[in-house]
Structure formats: structure tokens, C-alpha cells
Amino acid sequence: MRWDALLPRLRHELVFRHPPDAVVLHLGENDLVVRKSIILIKTAIADLESVHATHPSITIFWSELLPRLHWRGNIKSTRLNYTVEKINRAVRSATTRMGGRVVKHPNIKVYMQELFRPDGVHLSDLGNECWLSDIRHGLIDWLEDGKGAFQM
């Protein structure tokens, strides 16, 4: 999913469901090859602020963008992976200012080729396990802090 689809999707889901205690957002990588990073940063922050303003009881989890071995569109991977770090810093700061949580993925590195499928874009099964483990730990930490609807 791309950023432009986030707010319409959330609005649609919230029409039919009670607002959740938390929402984990991981999107933006596919936007990098078609949007300038500054536009993506501004859009991401504005959308997160909109969600927070309309649903202040929802804790927003920002799952940081991941680096890739290859980016579609013949773009230099090193340059875009640097851009990923820049976007993560900006959105991480905005998320924490709003009282949200940030899920980092410190064990997913481009030099660890076994974490990626042969296309260099998508995560392998092992990479997905690492990613899901990070998400799980972020949610568990939140629940243990007493912020979630139930205690573990």
C-alpha cells in the first residue's frame, strides 16, 4: 500500500469497526521510487497527525522503513537506503511527539542477503521472521507498560 491509500483505508475500516487501541503502520517504501523524500516525509507526518487528531485514543506504531538490496526503477540502492534513514529519523521524531511508538528493525541490514528474496526487494522467510519479531516485541513492550487494553 502507498501513503495516498492510508487515510481512505483507515476511514473505511473505522466505519465498520470500533477504533482499535493501536495501529501498526508499515508503508512508504514503494513510494520512494515515485516521490521525493521531502514530500513523503511531509505526507507521512501530516497523515499521522490527522489520525492522532481524529482518534487520540489510538496508539500509532510507526514500523520503520526497511533498506533493500535493490530498488525498482534502476535507482542506486545506496542513495535510496540513505533516504530511508532520513525518512525514518523524521517520522520517528513526529511519532514520538504524538505519543506513538516506533518499531525499529536493527537486525535487517542490506549486507545480510539471506534476509531478502532473490529479487533483493522483498524479505525472505527469515527476513519476515525478523520483521515480525520486531513488531511483536514492540507490541509486547507497549502492553507491559500498561498502555494496551489488556495485560500480558
Query: What are the chain's domains?
Result: 3-144 (3.40.50.1110)
% of the chain at pLDDT higher than 70:
95
For the stretch 105-138, pLDDT in tens is: 999 999 999 999 999 999 999 999 999 999 999 9
Q: Of the candidates 14, 25, 42, 46, which has an alpha carbon nearest to the alpha carbon of residue 101?
A: 25
For the stretch 67-78, pLDDT in tens is: 999 998 767 888
d(CA 149, CA 144): 11
Per-residue confidence at 147, pLDDT binned at 50, 70, 90? low
d(CA 100, CA 52): 9
pLDDT tops 50 at residue 143: yes
pLDDT tops 50 at residue 152: no
Mean pLDDT over each residue of the chain, to the nearest integer: 93
Per-residue confidence at 150, pLDDT binned at 50, 70, 90? very low
Task: Determine if residue 73 is left, alpha or beta; phi over 0 gives left, psi from -120 to 50 gives alpha, anything else beta.
Answer: left
pLDDT tops 80 at residue 82: yes
CB 66 within 8 A of CB 107: no
